[in-house]
Structure 1
Amino acid sequence: MYSKQEAALIKKEFWTAFATVYPRKWLLYDTKIKDVTFKFYIDNKKAQVLLDIEPKEEEKRKIYFEKIESLKSILLEEYLPEAIFERNFYLENGKVISRIWIEKLEVSLNNKNNWGEIFAFFNATMAQFELFFYEYEEYIKDLETNT
């Protein structure tokens, strides 16, 4: 078990190493859709690439999720066959969001031997997620176009 300071240092070292190996600007929070963000996540059991849909207005969250869900077969067949869709995903704080994600199990932030595998997973998965998003961005953003 690591102290909070040691854990923070490992996390900082991890992200610095990732940025060194894959020095590019990721889309992440710059989707141009308020409260629709791409994220990387890592802990001691898994790595995930996430698309979180979390507008405060329930109706907007529903519309954005349904738009992406309407493209599900394309996302699964052409980009990310292991993507998981969850309309109502409950965060630890109880907040409900919609989430689409891909995960790699049995890897750990604390095991530096896993880092190369995690970095490759993050890079390949986020790149595919971004390609999908850029291809269908106008449709996803347009709240006037129904699914």
Structure 2
Amino acid sequence: MYTREQASQLRQAFWTAFGQYIAPHLSAEGIKVSWLNYNTGFKHVYFRMQADKKTASIAIELTHPDTEMQQLFFEQFEAQKSILHDQLGEAWEWDLHTEDENGKTISRIYKEIKPVNVFNKEDWPAIISFLKPRIIALDEFWSMAQYSFEELK
């Protein structure tokens, strides 16, 4: 087992390594982007990557506190589901109104792999190989799709 500090340092080392690995890639619009803190330009719409001792995941998270607004965003993504899945090259899971780890109601569109362990450096290549093409594909999708969400801003 790791101490809390050791676990934090390992997580930080992983995300630093991932950030360095993906940093040379420009966005679909040809600009430098912070892949780890991807800015969708929409409040309450996030692209999140996570890795822990059992899984790694990438998700579109909709966190609007008004569940009706959250559902409107979710439905707008559903309207573009085939385009999203084509861009990603795979189908993702769709959860409307689920709870996050803090008990808040969110909606998620996500993909995960298991078993992988961010605390095992031997799993890092598999986690990076899982996350990298998917965040790049999400960026390519979002560079075209974001305009259809303007009415919901």
Residue matched to 2:28:
none
Contact 1:27 1:130 in 2 (8 A): no
CA deviation profile, 1:50-92 (whole Å, cap 9, x unmatched): 1110111222111101000111122223424131111112112
Structure 1 runs (4+) greater than 4 angstroms displaced: none
Amino acid at match of 2:145: Y
- What are the superposed Cα offsets for residues 3-56 of structure 1, whole Å, 9 maximum, x if unpaired? 101101111111111112221522845111111111110001111111110111
Task: Flag structure 1 segments of 5+ consecutive residues without an equivalent.
Answer: none
Partner of residue 75, structure 2: 66
Residue 83 of structure 1 aligns with which residue? Answer: 92
From 35, 43, 46, give the equivalent of 1:37. Answer: 46
TM-score calculated relative to the size of structure 2: 0.86
CA-atom RMSD, angstroms? Answer: 1.7
Equivalent pair of 1:46/1:105 in contact (CA under 8 Å): yes
Structure 2 gap ranges (5+): 25-33
- Residue identity in the other structure for 2:9: L
Cα separation, 1, equivalents of 2:149 and 2:37: 16
Cα 1:27–1:132, aligned 2, differ >3 Å: closer, same or farther? farther
Change (3 A) 1:127 1:112: same
User: Is the contact between residue 87 and residue 138 of structure 2 (CA under 8 Å) also seen in structure 1?
Assistant: no
Equivalent pairs, count: 144
